[in-house]
Structure 1
Amino acid sequence: MTSGYLALVLHAHLPFVRHPESDYVLEEEWLYEAITETYIPLLKVFEGLHADGVDFKLTMSITPPLLSMLRDPLLQERYDQHLAQLQKLAEREVERNHFNDHVRYLAEYYVKEFAEVRSIWESYHGDLIGALKKFLDSNNLDIITCGATHGYFPLLKINPETVWAQIKVAAEHYEQEFGRSPNGMWIPECAYYNGLEELVADAGIRYFLIDGHGVLYAQPRPRYGTYAPIFTEPGVAVFGRDHESSQQVWSSELGYPGDPTYREFYKDLGWEAEYEYIKPYVMPNGQRKNTGIKYHRITTRGADLGAKEYYDPYWAREKTAEHAGNFMFNRQHQIDHLCETMGREPIVVSPYDAELFGHWWYEGPWFIDYLMRKAYYDQNAFEMTHLSDYLQAHPQQQVARPAQSSWGYKGFHEYWLNHTNTWIYPHLHKAGERMIELARRESADELQERALNQAARELLLAQSSDWAFIMSSGSMVPYAERRTKSHLLRFNKLYESITASQIDSGWLEKVEYMDNIFPQVDYRVYRAKSS
């Protein structure tokens, strides 16, 4: 008999970046890199586990923007071209490295790896969502949703209808794509405010996740801390993040990804190779960028990039198996101790950004593969579960109200509301008021209906928490500012043209083509729920 449960949760999210108006936009490569380094490698792990009879369980959010991009024919075509270019570069690397056996070995490794990515991509005809749906249908994956565009709910709640739209549009989009309602929701940035659970319940969602202190400081105080979900008064369950297991993976000082054996993220061929050689594989304007081909390992933390030694995937894979075993060992002891202390079976919820596994931590998918296999074959202290299965087996929990929280800096809202980004919120709030006003209208004709629906899309896209996050981080700030302003400008132009009954059909068609997320959105979602 097991002592408790372990639930890994992967949050797969990227902001909606799609630029059909341009032949090349660097930020579109965020998606292409994640497909190559995270989503296809994870899919390969899932397929391998399933083929070997390992009944793995994992919770995975796929946010509506990411889902929309992975389904988009234009981005699928552009990814295919991106991968072809990457394969050409790897093949050239094999040819040019005749006099360095180790680099040639690594180049040959990348040729093989990219060929495997190509094989999986083509076997599913570019439909990675359909591929993942197989594991939802087999109950190996509990695929959940998120806010429609990852809006930061506590900073939008001044207009509650806009939070409702983020939740309702996401739930409806999930059902359109997967043919069923979502059981759970990853609250964007784990940012909770009192009363949010009522909107989540109204959308038919059974549970959501927040940061650990949001549960620890709930009222009344939860008897079992974060090691059991709490139920809110509307009946929605809330799971809190476990700090101990998260730190082992996340921490830049203590986490596994910083091991000297692992691949160095910041030393890439795009910056290292002679310029004329690499020029055909960087940006069209000739500016260097990451290619995804990296030959060096971390070596020592804090070392100058010039001091990095060559990477070896064989030894990195061995280290990954060691770390997976260590993670399992620690969870065994943690869960045994908790079971004895609590007098009941605990659940340890370990959530991470999915893109950590593969993109930032190249060996991450191997870690998940080893962990799932070791947990299945090598121990009986805990059972791997996903959150829907756990709730079905444990329908009775303590009722409490979570505390306001997020998983950002200092645990609250500071990262999304500071001197770098505070300017966006008056504009978002005003646009929210205007959208609620528009939602009270009945469209006069098809053209006005289209304009109203596009106004809803533009507001949703402007609300993405990613833009405020990027402004705080200091990286790619001009792009984040431009995206916020462009969606707000389009929204305001739509508002003014609708209220004046002077809609420019040609301009509207162009905007619909560029910002084509949520094709079935209904602007009436911004009406108060009681109306």
Structure 2
Amino acid sequence: MNNSRVISLVLDLHKPFVRHPEMDQAQEERWFFEALSDTYLPLLEVFDRLDAEHIPFKIALSLSPTLCHMLRDEYLLERYLKYVDRQIEFGVRELERTAGEDEIHRLALNFYDQAVEKRVLFTERYEGNILRGFDHYQRKGRVELLTTAATHAFLPLYSNYPEAIQAQFETAIASHRILFGKNPHGFWLPELGWSPEMDRYLRAYNFSYTIVDTHSLCMEDHPESRGSFYPVKTPAGVFILARDFYAGRELEEAKFACHMDPLYRDYLRDAGFELPTEALSSFLEANGARKATGYKYWASGNNQIYDPQKALERVKAAASSFLDARISRFNSVAEYMDGCPISLCAYNADLFGRFWYEGPAFIEALYREGAHRTGLQFMNPAEYLYKQDASGFRTAMPEFSSWGVNGYGEMWLDASNDWLYRHALRSLERMIELAERFPDDTGLKERALNQAAREILLVQCSDWPKMLYKQENTLYARNQVEAALRNFTTIYESLGSNYISTEWLTSLERRHNIFPTVNYRVFRHKR
């Protein structure tokens, strides 16, 4: 181990809870469908190929409880299959339309084949449950599964409300245990949002480690002399690993490159926005608005037709350069190290496939190339920590940080979104009040209290303030927050008047059916 250099790849797989059975086709549900088709299934295909060829790979995946629920929701999965079927149906028409255009016809056939393969893979190999695939590789020791806060809340903003943080932790742990049969070693801080208060919660819930952004370690009072290349231990005994700043920046540049590189596929140009409306049929909104079909024929930054083979060669070169850069960084810090250095490469999983089409191929190329690099190993965080001498870890308290804009909390609290916290915190206080006032209720009242807990958890999702900050899907984000607040308030007032509409509550339970085993008592004071 002493002569080794370790790379640990960690991906955050998360989607906010989006579910609209009241609508024929909800545009926002496509976020989930696209991630499933373009990122999650391709990742499993990469694992299958590497495993079949006995190429060693280790990767850690943080699976958010909201995403896990959506991946098991029969209604959403039925809609997902309809989405894939529309792509297949569209592909049949595209093969006819492009019959005289050799290059585009080959691409249309390629995208059509991929859609068919994904449907078969999803329905037959995984029987509609891709969590089994991730768990399979976890049991083989290839994949480490982490959990995160129940609704991916930006936890530092709730540090004055321990009941909120304990509800996020306990609901997440219960969900993970039901799905995978054991507690995870690591906890992914949503948006890498760390504050010193997190230390005691991580210890209380028996998590071995968490991950912070680079500056959290490098800018504390007594910076770790080994920078982000070696863990530290908090006063409570939680191990802290820091994200490799340069590895993060290099792939952020790759994300930019996938919109500009003349060989990568253009994410934005889609046949659904270019063909005549009569050729689109099922890819039109009810109001005639166009939607992406997944058939993207153009390379980025020019008018050239996309060439998958040239893009694959570019990806292989990019993976080799990425490993060269990691080794170069290891060499530059060697004189400061007295332990085995680690480059922890943490990313949003959507980068690989959904936004950067060649992303899964990049991950596969990393492992294939890395297998031939002497002195370089891929490890999961828990495995790496297990193999270190923990007595050599310095005790330190990382600084408040995130991986958001400018590295702190402004993305989740600024003039664009600060209004929501006034209402969210007032409702949270009322939820705590309800949990204390009705500690032992059963029947209809318990159902109402559990639904109130779901609504409060949904309000705390970090995606809504982030969308408001970035001015993306702002109306939808605001509606999601306001709807959950209204639902909670209705329940609160109904409990106060001792009258609950069974019909209304049942309808809400069916729409917001997340966390079926939630217990509202998680919001009680801990004594």
TM-score (norm 2): 0.96
1:395, CA displacement in angstroms? 4.6
One-letter code of the match for 2:423? H
Asked if 1 retains the 8 angstrom alpha-carbon contact of 2:259 and 2:267, the reply is: no
Asked if 1 retains the 8 angstrom alpha-carbon contact of 2:255 and 2:356, the reply is: no
Which piece of structure 1 moves more, 452-461 or 111-120? 111-120
Pick closer, same or farther for the CA change 1:236–1:257 going to 2, 3 Å.
farther
Structure 2 spans left out of the alignment, 5+ residues: none
The residue matched to 1:71 in structure 2 has which SS?
coil
Pick closer, same or farther for the CA change 1:292–1:253 going to 2, 3 Å.
closer
Asked if 1 retains the 8 angstrom alpha-carbon contact of 2:233 and 2:396, the reply is: yes
Choose which of 331, 334, 344 in structure 1 pairs with 2:326.
Answer: 331
Matches within 5 A, 1:284-323: 284-299=286-301, 307-323=302-318
The residue matched to 1:416 in structure 2 has which SS?
coil
Which residue is equivalent to 2:356? 361
1:408, CA displacement in angstroms? 0.8
One-letter code of the match for 2:281? K
% identity of equivalent residues: 35
Q: Does 2:494 correspond to 1:497?
A: yes
Which residue is equivalent to 1:410? 406
Q: Does 2:469 correspond to 1:472?
A: yes
CA distance in 1, matches of 2:521, 2:389: 35
TM-score (norm 1): 0.96
Which piece of structure 1 moves more, 161-170 or 57-66? 161-170
CA distance in 1, matches of 2:255, 2:491: 49
1:518, CA displacement in angstroms? 0.7
One-letter code of the match for 1:507? W
Asked if 2 retains the 8 angstrom alpha-carbon contact of 1:282 and 1:291, the reply is: no
Which residue is equivalent to 1:392? 386
Which residue is equivalent to 1:266? 268
Asked if 1 retains the 8 angstrom alpha-carbon contact of 2:87 and 2:112, the reply is: no
Asked if 2 retains the 8 angstrom alpha-carbon contact of 1:455 and 1:494, the reply is: yes
Asked if 1 retains the 8 angstrom alpha-carbon contact of 2:259 and 2:266, the reply is: no
One-letter code of the match for 2:508? V
Give the superposed CA RMSD: 1.5
Which residue is equivalent to 1:303? none
Which residue is equivalent to 2:246? 244
CA distance in 1, matches of 2:258, 2:468: 28
- Following TM superposition, where does structure 1 have runs of at least 4 consecutive aligned residues deviating by more than 6 angstroms? none
Deviations for 1:344-388, whole angstroms, at most 9, x for unmatched residues? Answer: 321011101001000000000000001011111x11132100101
Which residue is equivalent to 1:210? 212
Q: Give the length in aligned residue pairs.
A: 522
Asked if 2 retains the 8 angstrom alpha-carbon contact of 1:70 and 1:127, the reply is: yes
Choose which of 333, 342, 349 in structure 2 pairs with 1:347.
Answer: 342
The residue matched to 2:411 in structure 1 has which SS?
helix
Which residue is equivalent to 2:72? 71
Which residue is equivalent to 1:519? 516
One-letter code of the match for 1:100? E
One-letter code of the match for 1:220? H
One-letter code of the match for 2:61? M
The residue matched to 2:278 in structure 1 has which SS?
helix
Asked if 1 retains the 8 angstrom alpha-carbon contact of 2:435 and 2:521, the reply is: yes
Asked if 2 retains the 8 angstrom alpha-carbon contact of 1:332 and 1:381, the reply is: no
Which residue is equivalent to 2:426? 430
Which residue is equivalent to 1:302? none
Asked if 2 retains the 8 angstrom alpha-carbon contact of 1:279 and 1:288, the reply is: no
One-letter code of the match for 1:144? L
Asked if 2 retains the 8 angstrom alpha-carbon contact of 1:249 and 1:255, the reply is: no
Pick closer, same or farther for the CA change 1:395–1:448 going to 2, 3 Å.
farther
CA distance in 1, matches of 2:90, 2:258: 30
1:210, CA displacement in angstroms? 1.4
Deviations for 1:424-450, whole angstroms, at most 9, x for unmatched residues? Answer: 000011011011111112243311111
Which residue is equivalent to 1:147? 149
Structure 1 spans left out of the alignment, 5+ residues: 300-306
Which residue is equivalent to 2:373? 379
Deviations for 1:319-351, whole angstroms, at most 9, x for unmatched residues? Answer: 111111111121122223323432332101110
